[in-house]
């Protein structure tokens, strides 16, 4: 079998049966990275010795007659925000350039226990702040469908690694759309689970009440399998939810009779007409599969971006206070006193977007402005969550576009932070409400750029979200890898 | 946000800024705050603030002793350390 056309489910079956060794799979994808990644820059760190040692451990386990896990030998890319013990974890920032975590994140441990093989650490916007991966301190990632365009962000390296088949599964984090938006722009599947579904232990913190880890893959079944592996309660993350983990793969059945809500606010001004056409066509496909399409309203949608930039910056300004040039990471040397050590280290160590958000967050939390901004933001957050609670009284799942436009050109929005923020207008609300969301490919623009369709579900109802995504995928089957790369 | 406010917030944030960054951020942060101001058109009287969307209460666990990070591992990433201690410029004269 051609490994470029294989799914993660195929690979794990072949490795478990001995049809191919984990080392052969790892070698294939390492070679692929070496050939393709100079054009894409999806990875910040690739260490063949590390990858091959993980593959050898899987092969040794099989040789010893032990049963293999559900991701046996599957090549996985990890966003460089997940702590890997002894392996560089930079978060796309100069301030963590030489950081080697002394421990591994829970998600990484669970993937290893499932016999996955890590092929590298994926590029990202610095501290996951951005929608284009142009904010990485180590240079941008290109979109595999058109290398003059951005792959989306902040998990742009993870999404691009799947589209270019340098990995079969990738892990990202989603605070306001950072998994779903790049998945849409790179034409792959990406899912943000319910807040608390996946442990955040060992995920470098950006906005703790919004951050959630989730999978990317080329198809829904691989996504579902990976989600089953990484989900679950973790006593090291007190916000992880104490609920059983469903067998998400088993939930992939038909959608007859399912009620799909379509929010009219997601088809408003600013939505590209080609993106709108692809999404409308998708809704027709779902209707053809026996689902019922119902118009719903999420009346506070237009306030989501403003609310998000209060909540996320406030939390970020607190979380990023730890980068002080003392405990780990970069330090500016030659400063006369401790205060200057902090402020000069942070001046040199952080990029412009991170500085902007730290300052905005500090401002909205500062004395005299706290109630007008932060408290106000939290009140509107409740209204946004209430919108979803009301809509889900009459529908099982909500569908709409993932992004207002297809991938834009590199450099197009870097000078205008607000226009970059508006890229996430359709993904931000789910983080504020804590609900799960997925983006699946729904066709292309006339220029050949991928378009994403988003499904959003009730809290802890990943099953329905994956089910509808799988049924749609099966009915359409759009290519998820560019032909000429 | 005028330059003086940006300077004040930068000081609170412990981030030094160049003159150029100060001017750039002053304009950009003003645009963002103007955009955020649209929230004031919403009446939120009586609405309870929501800090955590999926609330978990009383997440408790058994207090079982276990190994934690060693001092060597904890200081290994420090830019400068002496034995078990982080090294910083003198704080007290």
- Beta partners for residue B82, in sequence order: B85
User: What are A102's two structure tokens?
Assistant: 């002394």
CATH tag, B3-41: 1.10.20
Q: Which chain B residues are Cβ-neighbours of A196 within 8 angstroms? A: 54, 56
For chain A, the distance separating the N- and C-terminal CA atoms, rounded to the nearest angstrom, is: 20
Query: Residue A74 and residue A42: Cα distance in Å, rounded?
Result: 18
Predicted pLDDT at B59: 83
Answer yes or no: do B35 and A195 touch at CB < 8 A: no
Residue A387 in 3-state DSSP?
Answer: helix
What is the separation of C-alpha A459 from the centre of its chain, rounded to a whole number of angstroms?
Answer: 18
Predicted pLDDT at B11: 96
Contact call for residues A203 and A209 (beta carbons, < 8 A): no
Query: Residue A54 and residue A25: Cα distance in Å, rounded?
Result: 12
Res A187 pLDDT > 80:
yes
Predicted pLDDT at A196: 97
Predicted pLDDT at B57: 82
Res B56 pLDDT > 90:
no
CATH of the domain at A55: 3.90.1300.10
What is the separation of C-alpha A239 from the centre of its chain, rounded to a whole number of angstroms?
Answer: 19
pLDDT in tens, A206-228: 999 999 999 999 999 999 999 99
Answer yes or no: do A381 and B50 touch at CB < 8 A: yes
Q: Which chain B residues are Cβ-neighbours of A321 within 8 angstroms? A: 14
For chain B, the distance separating the N- and C-terminal CA atoms, rounded to the nearest angstrom, is: 37
Q: Where are the domains of chain B?
A: 3-41
Question: Which of A317, A344, A418 minimises the CB distance to B16?
Answer: A344
Query: Residue A159 and residue A384: Cα distance in Å, rounded?
Result: 28
Predicted pLDDT at B32: 95
List all residues 6 or more positions away from B85 whose beta carbon is below 8 Å from its beta carbon.
B75
Query: Residue A90 and residue A96: Cα distance in Å, rounded?
Result: 5
Res B58 pLDDT > 90:
no
Sign of the CA dihedral running A92, A148, A222, A470: positive
Where does residue A122 rank: exposed (0-12), middle (13-18), buried (19+ CB within 10 A)?
Answer: buried
User: What are B54's two structure tokens?
Assistant: 């999926």
Question: Which of A99, A240, A305 minimises the CB distance to B77?
Answer: A99
How many domains in chain A? 1
Where does residue B93 rank: exposed (0-12), middle (13-18), buried (19+ CB within 10 A)?
Answer: exposed
What does residue A171 show for φ and ψ, rounded to 5 degrees? -110, 135
Residue A352 lies in a domain: no
Q: Does the N-terminal peptide bond of residue A317 adopt cis geometry, omega within 30 degrees of 0? A: no
Query: Residue A419 and residue A422: Cα distance in Å, rounded?
Result: 5
Where does residue A102 rank: exposed (0-12), middle (13-18), buried (19+ CB within 10 A)?
Answer: middle
Place of tokens 């150029």: B20
Predicted pLDDT at A270: 87
- Beta partners for residue A173, in sequence order: A213
List all residues 6 or more positions away from A482 whose beta carbon is below 8 Å from its beta carbon.
A144, A145, A163, A164, A187
Res A303 pLDDT > 80:
yes
- Beta partners for residue A195, in sequence order: none
Q: Which chain A residues are Cβ-neighbours of B31 within 8 angstroms? A: 417-418
Residue A300 lies in a domain: no
Predicted pLDDT at A269: 79
Strands A117-122 and A43-45: antiparallel
Where does residue A336 rank: exposed (0-12), middle (13-18), buried (19+ CB within 10 A)?
Answer: exposed
Predicted pLDDT at A87: 98
Q: Kindly report the three-state secondary structure assignment for every residue of A75-137.
A: EEEEECCECECCECCCCCCHHHCCCCCCCCCHHHHHHHHCCCEEEEEECCCHHHCCCCCCCCC
Strands (E) in A25-81, as ranges, are: 43-45, 75-79
Query: Residue A239 and residue A245: Cα distance in Å, rounded?
Result: 16
Q: Of A99-108, A368-377, B49-58, which gets the smallest average pLDDT? A: B49-58
**A300 pLDDT band (50/70/90 cuts)?**
very high
Query: Residue A464 and residue A458: Cα distance in Å, rounded?
Result: 9
Res A195 pLDDT > 90:
yes
Answer yes or no: do A382 and B91 touch at CB < 8 A: no
User: What is the average per-residue pLDDT within A179-191?
Assistant: 98
Within the 59-88 window of chain B, which residues sit less than 8 Å (CB to CB) from chain A?
59, 61, 69, 73-74, 76-80, 86, 88
Query: Residue A477 and residue A195: Cα distance in Å, rounded?
Result: 29
Within the 3-62 window of chain B, which residues sit less than 8 Å (CB to CB) from chain A?
5-6, 9-18, 21, 24-25, 28-29, 31-33, 35-36, 38-40, 42, 44, 47-54, 56, 59, 61
Within the 268-307 window of chain A, which residues sit less than 8 Å (CB to CB) from chain B?
300, 302-303, 305-307
Place of tokens 């406030």: A314
Please give the residue range of the domain that contains residue A114.
Answer: 8-254
Predicted pLDDT at A390: 98
Spatial CA neighbour of A69 closest among A246, A250, A228: A228
**A78 pLDDT band (50/70/90 cuts)?**
very high
Res A126 pLDDT > 90:
yes
Strands A450-456 and A259-263: unpaired
> 0.90 exceeded by the pTM?
yes
What is the percent of chain B where pLDDT is above 90? 80
Answer yes or no: do B25 and A305 touch at CB < 8 A: no
Spatial CA neighbour of A55 closest among A20, A3, A100, A104: A20
Query: Residue A238 and residue A208: Cα distance in Å, rounded?
Result: 12
User: What is the average per-residue pLDDT within A178-192?
Assistant: 98
List all residues 6 or more positions away from A8 whose beta carbon is below 8 Å from its beta carbon.
A71, A74, A168, A169, A217, A222, A225, A226
Please, how many CA atoms are within 13 Å of residue A395, restricted to the half-sphere of its CB? 26
């Amino acid at each position: 079998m051609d490994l470029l056309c294989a799914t993660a489910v195929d690979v794990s079956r072949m490795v478990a049966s001995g049809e191919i060794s984990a080392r052969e799979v790892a070698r294939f994808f390492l070679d692929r990275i070496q050939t393709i990644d100079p054009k894409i820059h999806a990875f910040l760190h690739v260490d063949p010795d590390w990858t091959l040692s993980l593959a050898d451990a899987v092969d040794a386990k099989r040789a010893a007659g032990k049963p293999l896990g559900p991701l046996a030998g599957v090549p996985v890319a990890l966003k460089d925000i997940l702590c890997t013990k002894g392996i560089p974890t930079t978060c796309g920032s100069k301030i963590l350039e030489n950081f080697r975590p002394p421990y591994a994140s829970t998600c990484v441990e669970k993937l290893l226990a499932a016999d996955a093989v890590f092929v590298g650490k994926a590029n990202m916007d610095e501290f996951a702040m951005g929608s284009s991966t142009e904010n990485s301190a180590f240079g941008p990632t290109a979109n595999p469908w058109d290398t003059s365009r951005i792959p989306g962000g902040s998990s742009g390296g993870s999404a691009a690694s799947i589209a270019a088949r340098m990995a079969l599964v990738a892990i990202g984090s989603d605070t306001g759309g950072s998994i779903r938006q790049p998945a849409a722009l790179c034409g792959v599947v990406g899912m943000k689970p319910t807040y608390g579904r996946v442990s955040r232990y060992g995920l470098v913190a950006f906005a703790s009440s919004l951050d959630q880890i989730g999978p990317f893959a080329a198809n829904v079944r691989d996504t579902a399998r990976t989600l089953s592996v990484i989900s679950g309660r973790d006593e090291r993350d007190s916000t992880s939810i104490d609920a059983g983990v469903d067998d998400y793969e088993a939930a992939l059945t038909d959608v007859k009779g399912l009620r799909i809500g379509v929010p009219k606010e997601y088809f408003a001004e600013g939505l590209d007409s080609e993106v709108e056409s692809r999404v409308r066509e998708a809704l027709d496909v779902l209707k053809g599969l026996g689902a019922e399409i119902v118009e719903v309203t999420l009346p506070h949608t237009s306030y989501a971006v403003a609310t998000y930039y209060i909540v996320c910056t406030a939390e970020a300004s607190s979380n990023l206070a730890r980068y002080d040039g003392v405990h780990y990471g970069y330090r500016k040397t030659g400063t006369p006193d401790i205060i200057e050590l902090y402020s000069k280290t942070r001046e040199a160590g952080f990029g412009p977007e991170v500085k902007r958000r730290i300052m905005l967050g500090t401002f909205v939390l500062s004395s005299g402005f706290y109630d007008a901004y932060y408290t106000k933001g939290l009140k509107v957050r409740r209204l946004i969550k209430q919108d979803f609670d009301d809509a889900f009284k009459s529908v099982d799942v909500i569908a709409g576009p993932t992004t207002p436009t297809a991938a834009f050109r590199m450099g197009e929005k870097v000078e205008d932070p607000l226009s970059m923020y508006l890229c996430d207008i359709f993904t931000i609300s789910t983080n504020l409400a804590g609900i799960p969301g997925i983006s699946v490919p729904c066709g292309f623009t006339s220029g050949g750029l991928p378009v994403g369709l988003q499904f959003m579900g009730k809290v802890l109802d990943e099953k329905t979200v994956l089910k509808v995504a799988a049924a749609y995928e099966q009915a359409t089957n759009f290519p998820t890898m560019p032909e000429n790369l | 946000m005028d330059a003086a406010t940006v300077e004040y917030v930068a000081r609170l944030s412990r981030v030094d800024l160049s003159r150029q960054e100060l001017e750039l951020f002053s304009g950009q942060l003003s645009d963002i705050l103007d955009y955020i101001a649209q929230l004031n058109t919403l009446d939120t009287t009586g609405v309870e603030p929501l800090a955590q969307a999926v609330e978990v209460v009383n997440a408790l666990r058994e207090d079982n002793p276990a190994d934690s990070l060693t001092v060597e591992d904890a200081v290994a990433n420090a830019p400068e350390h002496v034995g078990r201690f982080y090294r910083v410029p003198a704080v007290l004269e």
